Structure 1
Amino acid sequence: MRISCLLAGLAAGIIATAAPAQTNTAQPKHGLSAFGDLKYPANFSHFDYVNPQAPKGGELRQWQLETYDNLNPLILKGVTAQTLSLVYQSLMSRAADEPDALYGQIAESVELAPDRAWAAFNLNPKARWHDGSPITAEDVVFTFDAVLKDGHPQYQLILQDMESVTAENPRRVLFRFKPSESRRDLPLIVAGIPILAKKWFQGRDFARATIEPPLASGPYRVDRVDAGRSLTFRRVADWWAKDLPTNRGMYNFDSVRDDYYRDRDIAAEALFAGEYDYRVEVTARVWATSYDPKPAVQQGRIKRDVLPDETPSGVQAFFLNTRRPHLADPRVREALNYAFDYEWMNKTLFYSLYKRNRSMFENSPLAATGLPGADELALLDPYKAQLPPRVFTTEYQPPMSDGSGANRDNLRKAQALLREAGYDIRDGKAYAKGATEPLTIEFLLYEPSFQRVIGPFTASLQRIGVQSQVRVIDLTAYENRMRAFDYDVILRRFTQPLTPGVEQRNYWGSRAADITGSFNFSGIKNPAIDALIERIVAAKSRPESVTAAKALDRALMWGFYVIPNWYSGTYKLGYWDRFGRPAVKPSYDLGLLETWWIDEAKDRAIGLRR
């Protein structure tokens, strides 16, 4: 599953600043965070999770799934390549050991109005494109104008309350924001969006997918393009930003190569053959059975680690498209949940390595547990008529089985829900009243490996009278159908930020349900959910944010818009033992790509041919 890391990773927030001395002028700050708390002072030298003396050199080889045909990260068309964060810079960059803090990158400082009506970014005079020309405020203005006109609809949605962007001089850009609660979020959002070179796009169609590398300014440049098969990045030795505190000790590989594989199992075997260097293992079967028999593992040349992951584990689920009439009734969706036997699946297919996902904010303090407290009820009570009663009375738990594979009690409950929704069960098939065709759903996939997961599920659906089929199509066709919401059920995963904000409108908001390419995969349109999203956006403190997120979580889970899957809560890492790494791992990232390096002695010892 592809993860839209770039969109989901844009933190939302505000900072506390001194009162402005004059219009559009305030106290310059070196960083931004959601609620004003910054770990690193203005004179910090490097992040705590790096080795500032890390050696440079060598090649890192990675694997990616499927293909790509686009190198512009800000548009909808095409299948965008992975790892483009190495190529493009934003005004500020994230600290991976804080929930949402950003520090200077292209911009050396930021000023914020006390009422958040505007934010001004002062560009670093050393900021340069890879051709040596300066990055200017006009480039920033061009980027946002292009995104709002021809960019990805998801950016257009989260930037809807940006009023204007203006180059006040070559090194200062001013953003104005409309009067709305989004003012809390927008300074961090605009600070985190990649900046593109105006001159490179002159005479080109911005909205058109391209495999010609755009001019960029990041620590790497695109070196070799083998369209759809591999993509190689070369470290920029004279990178203008290499000595900034946000970059010291980072980006240590001379080159990074991404090889694209069409099949997960083939990609796993390629690791053991030495075709690439590491994999974060997300397939339980491979982690449990494939490593130990391999000679390279037995010889100690391939290592395995389980590293902590303190980020929200993301929303991984079967998304049920409520735009389809046969999935519009929550009782039907709940019936499908009862037919999903996770306990048997985890024991039989996943070697009991996973935990059940029970929340849209799993593995974080944002996940709702127990019954709603007084603070949550204060947010929920005004919407009692628009929310399921169980939101107020019952802790959400997905249906559980005994793991035997029979699942009879849950299947009986599923059939009872279908009958309650108006279906008749005849000859083992569920028919809506007056319908001549039975209730049928289609699972849409772009990789065949998940058929082993869906197969037992479809067998359970058959037992409650629901007919199902699995359709596997190529990635390009899948992306097009997903963006147009042309499916019954899709299996998706995306990450949640530690400080949720306006991106929640994109995931669950009514407006997003009709925007091509949004992340509202289930087509949710519920005024109560819209209102709870706005309480998240309006939160003035972290406790308020947590309370609002929990309330939203309850409303979403009891709406049965998804069939929740599973999560790990750790990074299961298999890698060739050729790396050095810092003593401290960043709390909210793996950090391998950004902070590890090639240990020459280890590299020689493993005898891996290049």
Structure 2
Amino acid sequence: MAKTQQHPHAPRSKAAVQTQQLGLSKWGMLLAGSALAIGAASMLRADSHEEVIISHGYTNFGELKYPADMAHLDYVNPDAPKGGEMSLWTQGTFDTFNNFTREGATAAGTTILYESLMTATADDPYGSYCYLCTTIEYPESKDWVIFNLRDDVTFSDGSAFTAEDVVFFHELIMDQGLPEYVAVVEGYIEKVEVLDTHRVQFTFTPEAPRRDVIGIAGSNRAFSKAWFAETGARLDESTDVPFLGTGAYVLGSYDTNRNVVYQRDPNWWGAEHPMNVGQANFDSIRYEYFSDSAAAFEAFKAGEYTFRQESSSLQWATGYEFPAIENGWVRKEELPDGTIGSAQAFIFNLREERFQDPKVREAIRLMFNFEWSNETLFYGLYDRVESFWQNTDLQARGVPSEGELALLQPLVDEGLLDASILTDEAVLPPTSNASRPTDRSNLRRASALLDEAGWIAGDDGMRRKDGQVLEVEFLSASPGFDRIINPYVESLQRLGVDATLNRVDFAQYVERLDAPSDFDIVNHTMTQGFEPGSGMRQWFGSETAADSSRNLMGLEDPAVDRLLTNVINATGLEEVITGSQAIDRVLRAKGFWVPQWYKSTHTVAYYDIYEYPENLPPFLLGHTSFWWYNAERAEELRAAGAF
């Protein structure tokens, strides 16, 4: 099962929600657990006679995997040595350390600086654990939750973290946070109150879905009220220094657009806590910036950085034949990845009038030949994305189940969905002949669709409607995608579409995505989780359609909104699964995406100076956290001239 539960996330994201430095983010954070309470207890609150649950964690389904008195996570090496550096590459540029705003391009790795009230693990799909708290208290109604904060948490400057900082963060994010986040969350939390120095209470609105409320409250990060008052920093403005955090790492150094280095805080408050045992093993984590993947790969071969998650099938299949591999200095491995197959796709900007016609979108979808791309360009390494919850129980398959029909029928009756959704099998991506880039059968089908939509080919072969040429621009910042997009562009041109690839630098790319109507088609990865909740509104809800870093396509659909509400309000696991299947079915039928590809392994290459636990967890690779540095082997390779 995948790890990340989809609750609203405050930070910006242009693609998937990032995992954190020391573990996997469930509520959008990485934290450590408490060992003060074993299991859950209950008591009667004197003022209301409500039964109050007291626990070291929370789960909507089943039992928490880890007890409060755990020694360490099952998947770490508790004796892992500390030291050394993990160095990686990233593409583009950066001009800010603030990942809570869409202003500017954020430096890689900033999420490792911050922690939150609750965390999750990489092997418990539904559990959330106290981290900056020792226990939580809540009634069965979940009308409120109290966090009993740890009294030993400090920011990296040594100042104490208190309940006032929790209230401050909530008020700050609601005042200066991303509108897409505020739009989703503002109806959930009625008030946040300081009860005493280390006790804070969240009270929820009566209409807030109860399955989400504790998770939303637990996602509050530890920001220093005093630091913001002293510096005058704002959450909605670009910053040249990170905000003060409580995390294991602090900013060490940076050279703008060249590299950024984070150093382990020797005084980190959480170093000895059970969920951190065997984690945060590197003294430093370095990100090297490159303008394109080809330059980055050459730098890796030369030892300028030491760990690479390979995303190019071409490189993976043909590029790893160089001296460092032959000498045994670099290891090349495929490691299991148990997360949900990522919903990676080309997405249409539905705000553009020509893309509001489903026939136009389907015609363009038909012209992407995945089978040819996979065989010719990807060396058969990938499978086709079919679903937003690929290879899970939440994926819609075949015709609707009885449970799905109960959700879909009212929407058909109200005219919000076509009746075919009740009887048709779940929409699958079109298939193509792998022998040539342009599938002739699909070309004929696409041509007929455009004719029906009124886009008629002229004497010059170009399709026009009301005197306007049908134009499609693929906006990209990655040179590595050129070889994939160019054949797609050529196939569309054969259809009579004025298709182009416009590759821009990273700063321009970010700027154009931030202007919602300033693109036609872009790459997007719509990361989902195994317990879908309120965060889905950021991806698919009408309230985020106007301007969102997640709902880039601008989807605004009342049927989808109703189905989202059904899942968000669901209380049982079966309800969640059935509701997610219905959403998946409808989203796929809307056709706002051209599904791309995924693989079920991590393809990694690294200099033989790192080691990892024998039993990796299913939901996280963990290379920047619970891997460790072999200092003796590093000296051997350094002496041999490997880097």
The answer, yes or no, to whether TM exceeds 0.5 is: yes
Q: Is 1:588 matched up with 2:615? A: no
Q: Is 1:344 matched up with 2:372? A: yes
Aligned counterpart in structure 2 of residue 423 of structure 1, from 455, 461, 467: 455
Q: Is 1:3 matched up with 2:4? A: no
Superposition deviation, residue 460 in structure 1 = 0.9
| Residues 27 and 119, structure 2, Cα contact 8 Å, conserved in 1 | no
Aligned AA (2:544): A
Q: Is 1:353 matched up with 2:381? A: yes
Match of 2:9 in 1: none
Match of 1:543 in 2: 574
Write the distance in 2 (CA, Å) between the matches of 1:57 and 1:389: 61
Match of 1:187 in 2: 214
Match of 1:412 in 2: 444
Write the distance in 1 (CA, Å) between the matches of 2:219 and 2:563: 25
TM-score, scaled relative to structure 2: 0.90
Q: Equivalent residue of 2:194, what SS?
A: strand
Q: Is 1:239 matched up with 2:261? A: no
Match of 1:224 in 2: 253
Write the distance in 1 (CA, Å) between the matches of 2:354 and 2:508: 24
Q: Is 1:21 matched up with 2:21? A: no
Write the distance in 2 (CA, Å) between the matches of 1:529 and 1:499: 17
Q: Is 1:387 matched up with 2:424? A: no
- Equivalent residues in 2 for 1:500-519, closer than 5 Å: 500-514=532-546, 516-519=547-550
Q: Equivalent residue of 2:287, what SS?
A: strand
Write the distance in 2 (CA, Å) between the matches of 1:533 and 1:519: 15
Write the distance in 2 (CA, Å) between the matches of 1:371 and 1:102: 34
Aligned counterpart in structure 2 of residue 290 of structure 1, from 310, 315, 319: 319
| Residues 95 and 105, structure 2, Cα contact 8 Å, conserved in 1 | yes
Write the distance in 2 (CA, Å) between the matches of 1:317 and 1:461: 17
Aligned counterpart in structure 2 of residue 281 of structure 1, from 293, 301, 310: 310
Aligned counterpart in structure 2 of residue 369 of structure 1, from 388, 397, 404: 397
| Residues 66 and 261, structure 1, Cα contact 8 Å, conserved in 2 | yes
Write the distance in 1 (CA, Å) between the matches of 2:168 and 2:27: 22
Which segment is superposed worse, 76-85 or 348-357? Answer: 76-85
- Equivalent residues in 2 for 1:233-272, closer than 5 Å: 233-272=262-301
Residue deviations 1:123-167, cap 9 Å, x none? Answer: 101111112111011111111111111112233133222222121
Unmatched 5+ stretches in structure 1: none
Superposition deviation, residue 578 in structure 1 = 0.7
Match of 2:470 in 1: 439
Pair 503,128 (structure 1): closer, same or farther in 2 beyond 3 Å: same
Superposition deviation, residue 16 in structure 1 = 8.6
Which segment is superposed worse, 201-210 or 315-324? Answer: 201-210
| Residues 93 and 246, structure 1, Cα contact 8 Å, conserved in 2 | no
Aligned AA (2:233): R
Write the distance in 2 (CA, Å) between the matches of 1:17 and 1:550: 35
| Residues 388 and 526, structure 2, Cα contact 8 Å, conserved in 1 | no
Q: Equivalent residue of 1:259, what SS?
A: strand
Aligned AA (1:176): T
Pair 528,357 (structure 1): closer, same or farther in 2 beyond 3 Å: same
Residue deviations 1:487-536, cap 9 Å, x none? Answer: 1111112421221111111111111102x234112211111111111111
Superposition deviation, residue 169 in structure 1 = 1.2
Aligned counterpart in structure 1 of residue 429 of structure 2, from 391, 395, 398: 398
Q: Is 1:118 matched up with 2:144? A: yes
Q: Is 1:483 matched up with 2:519? A: no
Pair 181,378 (structure 1): closer, same or farther in 2 beyond 3 Å: farther
Residue deviations 1:466-506, cap 9 Å, x none? Answer: 11122222222222221221211111124212211111111
Pair 553,459 (structure 1): closer, same or farther in 2 beyond 3 Å: same
Aligned counterpart in structure 2 of residue 452 of structure 1, from 459, 483, 494: 483
| Residues 9 and 495, structure 1, Cα contact 8 Å, conserved in 2 | no
Superposition deviation, residue 311 in structure 1 = 0.9
Pair 332,389 (structure 1): closer, same or farther in 2 beyond 3 Å: farther
Aligned AA (1:182): P
Write the distance in 2 (CA, Å) between the matches of 1:554 and 1:98: 27
Write the distance in 2 (CA, Å) between the matches of 1:17 and 1:180: 27
| Residues 14 and 549, structure 2, Cα contact 8 Å, conserved in 1 | no
Q: Equivalent residue of 1:288, what SS?
A: helix
Match of 1:145 in 2: 171
Residue deviations 1:169-188, cap 9 Å, x none? Answer: 11111111112253321311
| Residues 56 and 254, structure 1, Cα contact 8 Å, conserved in 2 | yes
Aligned counterpart in structure 1 of residue 630 of structure 2, from 571, 593, 599: 599
Aligned AA (1:347): E
| Residues 9 and 497, structure 1, Cα contact 8 Å, conserved in 2 | no
Write the distance in 2 (CA, Å) between the matches of 1:178 and 1:70: 35
Write the distance in 1 (CA, Å) between the matches of 2:377 and 2:25: 31
Match of 1:204 in 2: 233
Superposition deviation, residue 547 in structure 1 = 1.1
Q: Equivalent residue of 2:274, what SS?
A: coil
| Residues 83 and 281, structure 2, Cα contact 8 Å, conserved in 1 | yes
Superposition deviation, residue 81 in structure 1 = 2.0
Aligned AA (1:271): F
Pair 206,523 (structure 1): closer, same or farther in 2 beyond 3 Å: closer
Aligned AA (2:278): G
| Residues 11 and 497, structure 1, Cα contact 8 Å, conserved in 2 | no
Pair 547,153 (structure 1): closer, same or farther in 2 beyond 3 Å: same
Write the distance in 2 (CA, Å) between the matches of 1:86 and 1:247: 13
Please, what is the CA RMSD of the aligned residues?
Answer: 2.1
Match of 2:6 in 1: none
Superposition deviation, residue 36 in structure 1 = 5.0
Unmatched 5+ stretches in structure 2: 1-12, 29-38
Aligned AA (1:482): L
TM-score, scaled relative to structure 1: 0.95
Write the distance in 2 (CA, Å) between the matches of 1:6 and 1:492: 14
Q: Equivalent residue of 1:28, what SS?
A: strand
Match of 2:120 in 1: 94
Aligned counterpart in structure 2 of residue 127 of structure 1, from 123, 139, 153: 153
Write the distance in 2 (CA, Å) between the matches of 1:28 and 1:16: 6
- Equivalent residues in 2 for 1:306-317, closer than 5 Å: 306-317=334-345
| Residues 20 and 113, structure 1, Cα contact 8 Å, conserved in 2 | no
Write the distance in 2 (CA, Å) between the matches of 1:479 and 1:301: 37
Superposition deviation, residue 257 in structure 1 = 0.9
Write the distance in 2 (CA, Å) between the matches of 1:266 and 1:440: 32
Match of 2:553 in 1: 522
Pair 92,9 (structure 1): closer, same or farther in 2 beyond 3 Å: closer
Write the distance in 2 (CA, Å) between the matches of 1:420 and 1:263: 41
| Residues 26 and 128, structure 2, Cα contact 8 Å, conserved in 1 | no
* Identity value in percent: 36
Pair 42,87 (structure 1): closer, same or farther in 2 beyond 3 Å: same
Which segment is superposed worse, 34-43 or 530-539? Answer: 34-43
Aligned counterpart in structure 2 of residue 33 of structure 1, from 27, 38, 59: 59
Which segment is superposed worse, 395-404 or 15-24? Answer: 15-24
Aligned AA (1:186): V
Which segment is superposed worse, 106-115 or 177-186? Answer: 177-186
Superposition deviation, residue 20 in structure 1 = 4.7
Write the distance in 2 (CA, Å) between the matches of 1:162 and 1:36: 26
Q: Equivalent residue of 1:347, what SS?
A: helix
Q: Equivalent residue of 1:289, what SS?
A: helix
Which segment is superposed worse, 59-68 or 72-81? Answer: 72-81
Aligned AA (1:335): A
Superposition deviation, residue 571 in structure 1 = 0.5
Write the distance in 1 (CA, Å) between the matches of 2:18 and 2:210: 20
